[in-house]
Amino acid sequence: MTATPEIETRAETPYAAVRTQVTWAEVAGLGRYFEQVFGWLGARGLEPAGAPFFRYNVIDMARELQIDVGVPVAEAALGDDRVVTGVLPAGRYATLMHVGHPSELAGVNKTLLDWAAGQGLTWDMSPGEGGEHWGGRVEFYPTNPAEEPDMNKWVTQLAFRLAD
């Protein structure tokens, strides 16, 4: 089940993440990095301040994607050689909520992209070396798999930043 896309204004959100470069076929295995990020936060006494996410920084579907596997935090922190820190920028985002199996997300992404094109909206994205460079293209995963093992009931929220 996919809801209707909406536009919402979001505040800047600091986060901690593992940054990685993968092919599209490897994206499904990135969830393993969440354990590293949560462990890193716990070792520093930092609490998560929202749902974990994938932030797609650079997308080249034919070659590689640069993705931050992250968790929001209440206050900015300093990263290290294992975990990077950053911020999801403030601004207007086109959002879309989906309940269903993660394998459906490619179609859900297409739904949001097509909807925005139909609305005449422009993304905070520019072509560059290595592919499309996004200012804020995020998939949030509020469902805890330990509490809801049925992947068909998992909730995902897409939030793609719009150009000013």
User: Is residue 83 a part of any domain in this protein?
Assistant: yes
Torsion sign across C-alpha atoms 122, 124, 125, 126: positive
Tell me the residue ranges of DSSP E strands in 13-74: 13-22, 53-59, 65-72
pTM strictly above 0.75: yes
The answer to the question of residue 1 being in a domain is no
Q: Domain for residue 115, yes or no?
A: yes
The predicted-structure confidence for 56-94, as pLDDT tens digits, reads as follows 999 999 999 999 999 999 988 888 989 999 999 999 999
Question: Which two three-digit tokens encode residue 108?
Answer: 């859900």
Per-residue pLDDT tens digits for 17-35: 999 999 999 998 999 999 9
Q: Is the pLDDT of residue 1 over 80?
A: no
Q: How confident is the model over 84-136, as pLDDT tens digits?
A: 999 999 999 999 999 999 999 999 999 999 999 999 999 999 999 899 999 99
Q: How many domains, the chain?
A: 1
Q: Is residue 51 part of a domain?
A: yes
Whether the Cβ atoms of residue 112 and residue 134 lie closer than 8 Å to each other: no
Using the predicted structure, report yes or no on whether residue 2 has a pLDDT greater than 80: no
